[in-house]
Structure 1
């Protein structure tokens, strides 16, 4: 009987493993079809002169010509710089204000449910709806913000067509919409911070800032890293707001990688060139994300 017991345990373990693999198989298959296949196809097309009008069967292998054309294009280099700069600024501002709001709401004795609901409204709106709403408010002709500035005797701007204000306005709109996302994740993380640690810190004479730095931050650092990673990936592919509000202008000051690929790849149906840009964009996202992933592993 004792000799048969290990064999039964091994059989049971094998059955469990097969069951788990069977349950995971649909998900793995979907990931392969929806992620791996498009990525491999994009990589292959990036080495060809594939144009949609000609068809994939007439595409020729041109090695690194698309990548050389990409990096030699001044607009692409500026689009990369705009995207990286926008991503860094947006993530830093969203993390700062999201954490600030989360700590403030968490400290309230009353009204937390109402405040949570109100704060989440901007994030629930589609990006196009947000862009159109802000375009109306910031209109140089009938926008309420310019009318308010005129009433105060202050100068008005053509916010989305001025090289001095266009980038900042899109950054402001993106931060306004996505701070609630950061707030929600960090607010949920704050619920798990042990109250006893705050009491011990207060007994030791720690002030509010010291409690925040030595108690709150260490307990939510993993959530901070995850939130920064998610926002970096999402912000890097910014498209809707730029496309609706500026189209990449004025003077290419708001052009992002996605907007550039849309203008020079999708609209011209040059999918080989667009695929090369998509691969470069993916690599840049991986580089930026690696900092957060490395921090999370540590």
Structure 2
């Protein structure tokens, strides 16, 4: 009996110690996440403007900000551009990253060198990536147009042409972020039991069957996690758009974050900007729910 009491006492002390260590972190996270979310939600129902707030308190306007957003063609175009960009980049990055992970994992030599080389684009700051591509695709001195001219092919003003600007943003994001998917999936492939591959080969399974019946089932949680992370990150695209196109031409590359920047931060209209942030959050949750369900299963 005394031994059991000592064990229970030790377990209780361990739990108390764990709770004491975790509590500060939980409080900080709650303050850093819950307060901004509540603040944004509350002010989305007001006409809060930073300049006007200096003279008078914000007034409650109900759902006016949300109605203004939903009837604004610029916002509708921004939502469509953001969803289209997210779907395209996530699909391409998942396919390319998975392919690269399979390729590097199959190498008998040089895996460390290949890992380093493939991760270089992702390690670069986004501003650096945007400036590199802006120079490469410059209509005046860019190497891409010079090569096209040498081959007697048509050249483009890539970021000012409505037919090419959006595609260039997709290309640049895939080039930079596919290595992130590669890294996570490569780590997942390293954990797949080799005896399953050997058993499949002994049963006469080909490469495709091994891929779909051994490899994919073992890393499906990692695939869902990669897709979820890339969906969230792609949906809040701002820096590349702001640096390369500014949302143009003709709003063809405008995103929700660019809209919030133009009509929330620049104009200090935090009421409308907060409503846009809430709408953006809801859309991200809807898009992410599929991956979360897959990961849970």
For residues 10 and 294 of structure 2, the distance between their equivalents in structure 1, rounded to whole angstroms, comes to 38
- Structure 2 counterparts to residues 247-286 of structure 1, below 5 A: 247-286=246-285
TM-score (norm 1): 0.97
The reply to whether residue 23 of structure 1 matches residue 21 of structure 2 is: yes
Q: Which moved more, 1:198-207 or 1:231-240?
A: 198-207
Three-state SS of the structure 1 residue aligned to 2:52 is coil
SS in 2 for 1:116: helix
Q: Distance in 2 between matches of 1:55 and 1:19?
A: 46
Q: Does 1:52 align with 2:68?
A: no
User: The residue matched to 1:58 in structure 2 has which SS?
Assistant: coil
What residue in structure 2 maps to residue 83 of structure 1?
82
2:160 aligns with 161
> Who is 1:11 aligned against?
9
Shift of 1:5: 5.1
- Of residues 59-68 and 11-20 in structure 1, the stretch that sits farther from structure 2 once superposed is 11-20
Inter-partner Cα distance in structure 2 for 1:106 and 1:142: 39
Deviation at 1:32, TM superposition (A): 1.1
How many Å apart are 1:58 and its aligned residue? 1.4
Q: Secondary structure at the match of 1:255?
A: coil
Q: TM-score by structure 2 length?
A: 0.97
Shift of 1:8: 4.2
Is 1:68 paired with 2:67?
yes
- Residue 239 of structure 2 corresponds to 240
Count of residues paired in the alignment:
296
Q: In 2, Cα distance between the equivalents of 1:145 and 1:248?
A: 23
Question: Root-mean-square deviation (CA), in Å?
Answer: 1.2
2:123 is equivalent to residue 131 of structure 1: no
Structure 1 position 7, deviation (Å): 4.6
User: What's 1:184 paired with?
Assistant: 183
Q: 1:13 Cα shift?
A: 3.0
Separation in structure 1 between the aligned mates of residue 268 and residue 117 of structure 2, nearest angstrom? 43
Shift of residue 11, structure 1, vs aligned partner: 3.4
Partner of 1:39: 37
Deviations 1:138-165 (A, max 9, x none): 0011100000000000000010111111
Task: Point out where structure 1 has 5 or more consecutive residues left out of the alignment.
Answer: none
CA-to-partner distance for each residue in 1:3-53, whole Å, 9 max, x for gaps? x55554443333222211111112101111211111110111111111111
